[in-house]
Amino acid sequence: MQRKAASLSVKELAQRVQGTVLGDSALTISGVCSLDAATAGHLSFIRSKSSEHLMRELLPLPAIALLVSREIAPQSKPKTAATIIVVPDAYLAFVDLLPLFVEEDVRAPGIHPTAVVASDARIGKDASIGAYCVIGTGASIGDAAVLHPHVRVYDGAQIGSHAQLFSGVVVREECIIGDRVTIHDNSVIGADGFGYIPDPTAKVRKVPQIGNVVIGDDVEIGASTCIDRGAIGSTRIGRGTKIDNLVQIGHNTVIGAFCFVCGGTGIAGSCTVGDGVVIGGACGIADHCEIVSGVRLGGWTGVVTSLTEPGDYAGFPAMKAGDWRRQQVRLLRLTREKSVGRA
């Protein structure tokens, strides 16, 4: 991302997000800032849930433009140097306005002279192949796809149109990446699954991993995430799913559409995750578990058996979040009672 040399009035910004201005509509805005580093002439937002908290935040602010959700906004301009733009949803409006002040790094189409591309690889129209990329035999790169430097695409792999693979990404043999997929630095798609069996001679014998990974359209995968290829068949990631950094997904697991998988999570092999599932940070899911659509897992939840009802879960082993909270309260009370008894 690069900063744009933007210069827009508060009035212009408000018009773009159907906002109402409380304050100086002629104030010129040239960038964005966070509230804890508020800079005059910049745009920020507040996600406060109460009018009282909002007023405390407003008082020390310099002459910035501040997006405020309508449900907590004051009726008139308060005593602050900041100008308020009242909108239905402050964060959503900020996301809408952010592209006015930053721009993505656009890569020119073409193949860098240091890239190694197999003679039978297909490179789509307007694709950009960066320095030291390696594209194997029979591989396919879609139209307008961007491969940043040092990406490795193995034999027979397919990369969809408008996909973006950042430096160090590896896509192994025969894996399929959909359209408009983003994969961040150093992630590995299609490494061998963790499959071994006891063997009387060799003690441990590796099970050949001959499947692949299929990633649907509009998926985004964070940095240093690993998605293992199927032992037989495919590991699948559904359309629109977002996966954070440092996530491990085991072989033959199937994740549905529009799921969120937060950082540090490990999902073992042959799991099935429904649509719209939210998996908090550092969760662990045992092999062959099924998680139905509509489940939300709190951070550090451990799933050891299938979850067959939608809802919120927490704890280890995973249980309904309400039950887990009550359990924690009882444990705390019991601990305090024992401490008092010993005293």
42, 150, 162, 251: which is the annotated catalytic residue?
Answer: 251
In sequence order, which residues have a C-beta less than 8 Å from that of residue 338 and are 6 or more positions away? Answer: none
Q: Is 251 a catalytic residue?
A: yes
CA distance linking residue 137 with residue 128, whole number of Å? 18
Q: Which of 129, 249, 130, 132 is nearest to 191 (CA)?
A: 249
The residue to which tokens 């897992």 are assigned = 297
Give the burial class of 134: count Cβ atoms within 10 A of its Cβ; 0-12 exposed, 13-18 middle, 19 or more buried: middle
Strands 65-69 and 42-45: parallel
- What are the C-alpha distances in Å from 232 to residues 228, 229, 252, 269, 320? 12, 9, 8, 12, 34
Helix (H, G, I), strand (E, B) or coil at 217: coil
- What are the C-alpha distances in Å from 222 to residues 1, 214, 225, 315, 343? 16, 17, 6, 25, 51
166 with 184: CB under 8 angstroms? yes
- What are the C-alpha distances in Å from 151 to residues 136, 144, 166, 173, 245? 11, 16, 7, 14, 18
As annotated, the active-site residues are: 251
